[in-house]
Amino acid sequence: MVLVGTLAMSSGLWAAEAASAPSPTSRVTHYAVSYTVNPDGTYLEDRAWSMAASTPELVAGASRTSVSYDRQLQKVKVIEAYTRKADGRRLKVPKSGFKDAPDATSGQQDLGIEFPNVEVGDTAVLAYRVTTRKPWLAGHFSINESFPKTDSYGDVRIKVDVPVSMWSQDQARDFREVRRSEKAGRKVVEWAWRNEQPLKSAPPRLSGHEQEDEAGVLFSTFRSQGDLAKAYGGPAQAKAIVTPKVRQLADQITQDSQAKAPAEVAKALYEWVTLNIATTAPCLRLGSMVPRDVDVVLTQRTGDCKDHATVLQALLKAKGIASTQALINAGTAYALPKVPVVSAVNQVINHIPSLNLFLDTTSDSVPFGMLPFGDEGKPVLLVDGHQDGLKTPVSPVGFNQQIMKTEVIVQPDGSASGTVDVALRGLFAVNARMRLRQLTQVQAANMVKTFFESGGQKGSGSMVKDNARALRDTYGYRTQFKVDQWVKLPGPGSFAITPMFYSESPVADYVAAASQPVTEGAETSCSSGHSIEEYRYQLPANMTIEQVPKDVKLDSDKLSYSATYQFKDQVLTVKRVFDDRTVGNVCTAAHAQVYKDFAAQAVPDSTTKVVFK
């Protein structure tokens, strides 16, 4: 099933890198960034840029910016900040133009900067220094600077100054190298780039390639992805200690699993951590690369991804099950850059080699043996026993399934009542459990009401759903509904054959690919899926079907669609099936085009209406 959007490696820029960059659709006349790195990995970061408000559309973007940083580990010093008027005058940013406040989303500090009286023809100018007093990973340094080709850039310079004693490698995309020298124990590399004629639209982004459609520079002191994992894993795995508290808890959790296989023991421990340790974010960032002590996490019952992974590793160790931690990118990146950088990974999960299992306890809706969709098909950096090319598994074809059965009883006055039963498996079960787990009975009733209101009807109903804390690969719910004047009787009229309530994976979603654009050269995230919709309409005597739609059957290599219709004794039964046997989780543009063409064949039937009189 083709999912949302094209894929690209998330930039994952360092704290001060991302937030300080001028906004998109901008005209940057000058941009310079310089890193001066110490042997322990701490560094000075100097940035200076100027942005011209050459058109009315660029005034807002040039009027404000922000710098994100870690208040405990970083210090920001603004060198200069002013508006350069068209006539050459400089209007300095007043003290009131700087607003320093915590950013609840990132967990960082956000220094907002408002440039005074920016008008068309003016230029915003900013220069500042960030002093970082603690490295991301001890003795190492890495950056990923990236610039969209859809923005206009004048002179762009990137410089890295490191000790000669620090081994390093780098990769430049579109940038030209203007300097590479060694002197007085220091190695300096500098690159330059200009983009005076920006692209009108972004080129297709290819999954698995680190922003190769954008200009940029990667620099790293890691020799390999395995070295990066090892640098993280040393301090992290040292925290996975079997303390008395951990041992007691492990025994308590598995007391009913003592005589069972290791998989059953691991399952019990996984479910306990998943359901009892709340997940906090963000996970991997400056000053937060080492997990907290396991006893602290267990006492507070909260933790980020690395805390989760460390607690589970300690509990498994207490029961004699060896495991290791692993780094992945849980975003849209399905491959890692050639040059290993810390910003390319953002999630820590567990791996049990003896069971060949990857586990991520940060989602309270994913059962043992499965991974969240964002974790599937991703390169893995094992802390112990790193293997180049190792990836997390993807959902097997046919595993993700929805069966929706709808019963509708239509009254002579056109009102209707009925039930909708939905049975889900695989990722569909995970998604529905996640969406509905906190839904109260009152909220469910409002959800039914809103569903019918969105179609211009007045309805009501209730829902019964499976226990969300039972982490199985299946999930289901049943909805009862009543709706006033579902159809207008007496006729003539018509009604569409569509879900009568929320559906996690409706046939219509698959058929919708017929209207989705396909970008040549772009890859999309995708997965298999199987959706079955069965409808039974009990019609009143004063409602006569003029013509029953004809059965349809379509087949291709990896896709099939069928629809059957029967009308007998005032009962109309319909069954539609869309079977997507796509192997995920990355699909080519060619596959998307085949999908689009096939879906177009199913549109006439899937949108047909039943005409009555």
> Residue 347's domain is classified under what CATH number?
3.10.620.30
- For residue 393, being part of any structural domain is answered with no
DSSP class per residue in 493-557: EEEE---SS--SS-HHHHHGGGGS---TT--EEE--EEEEEEEEEE--TT--EEEPPPPEEEE-S
Q: Is residue 4 assigned to a domain?
A: no
Strand pairing category for 2-6 and 98-102: unpaired
Asked whether residue 91 falls in the same domain as residue 168, the answer is yes
CATH of the domain at 69: 2.60.40.3140
Omega prior to 282 cis, within 30 of 0: yes
Beta strands in 267-415 (DSSP E): 278-279, 302-303, 324-328, 347-352, 357-359, 381-382, 401-410
Q: How many other CB atoms are there within 10 angstroms of residue 264's CB atom?
A: 15
- For residue 560, the model assigns a pLDDT of 97
Burial 522-560 (b: 16+ CB within 10 A, else e): bbbbbbbbbbbbbbbbbbbeebebeeebeebeeeeebbb
Shared domain for 368 and 449, answered yes or no, is: no
111 - beta bridge partners?
67, 100
| Residue 390 included in any domain | no
d(Cα 522, Cα 168) in Å, to the nearest integer?
32
Q: Are residues 255 and 204 in the same domain?
A: no
The verdict on 242 and 215 lying in the same domain is: no
Distance, in Å, from the CA atom of 341 to the CA atom of 220, rounded to the nearest integer, reads 6
Give the per-residue pLDDT at 199. Answer: 82
Considering the domain architecture, whether residues 53 and 148 belong to the same structural domain is answered as yes
Q: Report d(CA 410, CA 535) in Å as an integer.
A: 13
* Helices 305-318 and 225-237, axial angle in degrees (round to 10): 70
Q: Is residue 395 part of a domain?
A: no
Report how far residue 129's alpha carbon sits from residue 355's, in angstroms, rounded to the nearest whole number: 49
Specify if 183 maps to a domain.
Answer: yes
> Looking at the DSSP assignment, which residues form a beta bridge with residue 348?
327
pLDDT of residue 547: 86
Whether 239 and 368 map to the same domain: the answer is yes
Contact predicate 425/473, CB 8 Å: yes
Domain span at residue 327 reads 227-382
Task: Establish whether the linkage from the previous residue to 492 is cis, with ω within 30° of 0.
Answer: yes
Same domain, 169 and 261: no
Q: Is residue 336 part of a domain?
A: yes
Residue 292 CA to residue 296 CA, distance in Å, equals: 7
Verify that 104 and 240 share a domain, yes or no. Answer: no
- 268 in helix, strand or coil? helix
Which residues face 120 on adjacent strands?
none
Please indicate, yes or no, whether residues 157 and 234 belong to a single structural domain of this protein: no
* CB 583 within 8 Å of CB 595: no
Residues comprising the chain, all counted: 613
User: Per the structure block, which two tokens stand in for 146?
Assistant: 């990236």
Rg of the Cα trace of the chain?
29
411 and 291 inside one domain: no
Among 221, 248, 274, the domain boundary falls at 221
Tell me the whole-structure pTM to 2 decimals.
Answer: 0.89
Sign of CA dihedral 390, 396, 397, 400: negative
Backbone φ, ψ for residue 600 (5° rounding): -60, -30
Phi, psi of 588 (to 5 degrees): -80, 170
pLDDT value for 159: 98
Burial of 181 (0-12, 13-18, 19+ CB in 10 A): exposed
Amino acid, res. 358: F
d(CA 605, CA 598): 13
H-helix or E-strand spanning residue 256: none
Separation of alpha carbons 581 and 497, rounded Å: 24
pLDDT, mean of each 10-residue run, the chain (613 residues)? 34 33 67 97 96 92 91 93 96 95 79 95 96 92 91 95 97 96 97 90 60 84 95 93 97 80 95 95 79 95 96 97 96 89 94 97 95 95 93 96 98 96 97 93 95 93 94 96 94 93 95 90 89 98 91 96 96 98 91 95 95 91
CA dist., res. 156 & res. 51, Å (int): 12
As a whole number of angstroms, the distance between CA 236 and CA 240 comes to 7
Indicate whether 387 belongs to any domain: no
pLDDT at 205: 64
Q: What share of the chain is helix, strand, coil (3-state, %, to 5)?
A: 20, 35, 40
- Looking at residue 283, what is its pLDDT? 86
Q: Do residues 212 and 240 both lie within one domain? A: no
Do 324 and 209 fall into the same domain?
A: no
**192, 221, 250: which is the final residue of a domain?**
221
Structural domain count, the chain: 3
Contacts of 441 (CB under 8 A, 6+ apart): 462, 463
> Edge to edge, what strands does the sheet with 493-496 contain?
493-496, 609-612, 545-547
Domain stops at, among 201, 221, 241: 221
C-alpha atoms less than 13 angstroms from C-alpha of 433 in its C-beta half-sphere? 24
For residue 228, give every residue at least 6 positions away whose Cβ sits within 8 Å of its Cβ, in sequence order, or none: 137, 140, 142, 222, 327, 340, 341, 342, 345, 381
130 burial via Cβ count (<10 Å: 0-12, 13-18, 19+): buried
Domain membership flag for residue 388: no
Q: Dihedrals φ, ψ of 281, to 5°?
A: -145, 165
